[in-house]
Chain A
Amino acid sequence: MTYVIIGNGVASVGAIEGIRRLDHEGTIVVLGNEHVPAYGRPLISYLLAGKIGPERLNLRSDDFYRRMCVDLRLNTTATAIDTKKKTVTTNKGETIPYDRLLIATGGVPFNPPIPGADGSGVYNFTTLDHAQALIAAAKKMKRAVVIGGGLIGLKAAESLFDRGVDVTILELSSRVLSAAFDENAGRLAARRLAETGIGVRCGVTAKEIHRDDKGGIIGVLTTDGMFVPCEAVVVAIGVVPNSKLAKDAGIKTDRGVQVDDSLQTSAKGVFAAGDVAQARDMITEDNRVVPIWPNAYNQGYYAGRNMAGAKESYEGGLAMNSISFYGLPTISVGQVNPPKPEDYEIAIHLDEKRQIYRKLVFKDDRLIGYVLVGEIDNAGMYTSFIKFRMPIPAETKRALMHGEPGVFLWPEQVFDKTWNPAGADK
């Protein structure tokens, strides 16, 4: 059996670990177009901030690929897939045959056309190379504008600020973190950033990037007619699935590469996982692209197991984000901005002064989402109610609303199965 994996991010690492749980013999070839082994992509903000050195980036130990018997080919880009001949071609002219293929090509930054964007001084922030370019550039720049107030934009802003750069964030919608968090959490996070001196401007975006005669950036003209002087611009509006390779091969794509419950694509023997995949979501029960780390690992892991013959069905991803802003931890899991709030029961506890916030979203007798800011220590216990789809009677609901989740609120049989499965001397 020959497994080929395109991409060397966390979905790929998940797949390697998944395959090797079941198959110790098969050949695994990994094609990665970056120049380093898999690293903690979210760690690039810690690197840019100067909180960690490059030696801490690796996701697995140096001997990982050797121990897992993986033929890792770095600096190698897959250029085409032939699903009939079952081969992958690379930029180095190789044609690699596969029995099972995983597309784990991740996402690519979305760059809308902005007049003046062509030229030096405009950056993205999704790879190690981007981080290193920004570290070098930060030495020379005084001011930067970050376009996009999502997770990546805020992290880029915070990290540049830690490098001594004056930063202004522009966010087109009315609040930051609108995708993953709710309004109150977004406001608390924005307030924390503003308190430290980062400019946060919502409801506006960049209209034009202005340059001097030599082509250097001098500032950004915003949609409300203001001019923000700066020497660099970071475009962090979002990532889109990197699905071109799959599409060109005739594999079904929608927003991302479509996969079934075994994570297989429309082509037999070809699987997809991670930011590129449009896979099942546990809460919405439809297939969607949720570009987050835990989903990427899990999809890779279960795709890997299925590639090795497991025939398991993927339980579905659960949207979750944990992010801290200058010591203010925020966590969001599941459905936190329900489309029709009147169909849900929403419990909110907000203490503005102490910057503590808790929001629970119930649908019928289930918990389907929550947000925590400030006090996060019980997060996992809330997650359990969502993940295990536990029915929530009135008394349990009250306890959760009071911020007192716990295992004794679980149904007895779930408790026993989890903590004291058969074998106990009773």
Chain B
Amino acid sequence: MKRVYPDKEYCIGCHLCELACITVHSKSQDLIIAYTQERLEDGLKACKRFQEKGPTCVALSCRHCDDPACVAACISGALQKDPETGATTYDIEKCVGCWSCLMACPYGAIQRHPTLNKIVKCDLCRDREGGPACVAACPNMALKFEER
């Protein structure tokens, strides 16, 4: 399957991927409203975990592992493996906010939602034509969406 691969050699730390991420996952679909309102009022949050060390940086997100630790740990069935697409899917309605997945995922790809008792995790922008918005937004091609 196609996955998002971040490259720390190219990442310039501009956070544009995060802005693209919150925009596609916003109600308004508008960057300014998403950033100034939905982020503060609804806890809208990007599914990226940003890491920095000196001049090096990288934007990490769910790897959609073949045998994911989060799916094994999920007590509610909110996290599952889609047998057709191979994606690790998340059903926010089923989630009870137990943080088992956040503990089990050794990639730190799962975060707590800032206001709800839910998690935030990459869904590969499944409803977006043309694939993940973060990849499209990256100005330096530090994120690649491909089969490897």
Contacts and interface: CB of A to CB of B under 8 A. Distances in A.
The answer to whether A and B interact is yes
- Which 4 pairs show the lowest CB-CB distances between chains A and B? A384-B106, A423-B148, A408-B53, A297-B72
B100 A322 contact: yes
Give the size range of B's interface with the partner.
35 or more
B40 to A, nearest CB: 19
Contacts of A422: 148
Nearest to A300: B72
Contacts of A293: 73, 75, 100
B124 interface: no
B58 to A, nearest CB: 7
Contacts of A51: 96
B60 A294 contact: no
B106 A40 contact: no
A411 B60 CA distance: 17
Given A322-B98, A380-B110, 19 more contacts: A14-B72, A52-B96, A56-B94, A294-B72, A324-B97, A376-B102, A377-B111, A379-B102, A380-B102, A380-B109, A384-B108, A408-B51, A408-B56, A419-B5, A420-B6, A420-B7, A422-B148, A424-B144, A426-B9
A420 B5 contact: yes
Given A43-B75, A380-B110, A407-B60, A333 B81 contact: no
Interface of A: 14, 17, 20, 40-43, 46, 51-52, 56, 58-60, 67, 293-294, 297-298, 301, 320, 322-324, 329, 331, 333, 376-381, 383-384, 387-388, 406-408, 415, 418-424, 426
B8 interface: yes
Contacts of A333: 103
B63 interface: yes
Contacts of A419: 5-6, 8, 58, 60, 63
B129 interface: no
B73 A294 contact: yes
16 contacts: A40-B75, A41-B75, A51-B96, A294-B100, A301-B67, A322-B103, A376-B102, A379-B99, A379-B102, A407-B58, A407-B108, A408-B52, A418-B63, A419-B5, A420-B5, A424-B7
Contacts of A384: 106-108
Contacts of B99: 322, 324, 329, 331, 376, 379
B77 interface: yes
A206 to B, nearest CB: 29
B105 interface: yes
Contact of B77 (A60, A324, A329, A376): A60
Interface in B40-72: 51-53, 56, 58, 60, 63, 67, 69, 71-72
B127 interface: no
B98 A323 contact: yes
Interface of B: 5-9, 51-53, 56, 58, 60, 63, 67, 69, 71-73, 75-77, 80-81, 83, 93-94, 96-100, 102-112, 144, 146, 148
A423 B146 contact: yes
Contacts of B144: 424
B91 to A, nearest CB: 9
A146 B43 CA distance: 38
Contacts of A383: 103-106
A420 B104 contact: no
A294 B98 contact: no
B48 to A, nearest CB: 13
A378 B107 CA distance: 10
A43 B76 contact: yes
Contacts of A420: 5-8
Nearest to B147: A423
A301 B93 CA distance: 25
Contacts of B97: 324
Contacts of B110: 380
B3 to A, nearest CB: 10
Contacts of B6: 419-420
Given A406-B51, A424-B7, A377 B102 contact: yes
Residue from B81, B102, B148 having most chain A Cβ neighbours under 10 A: B102
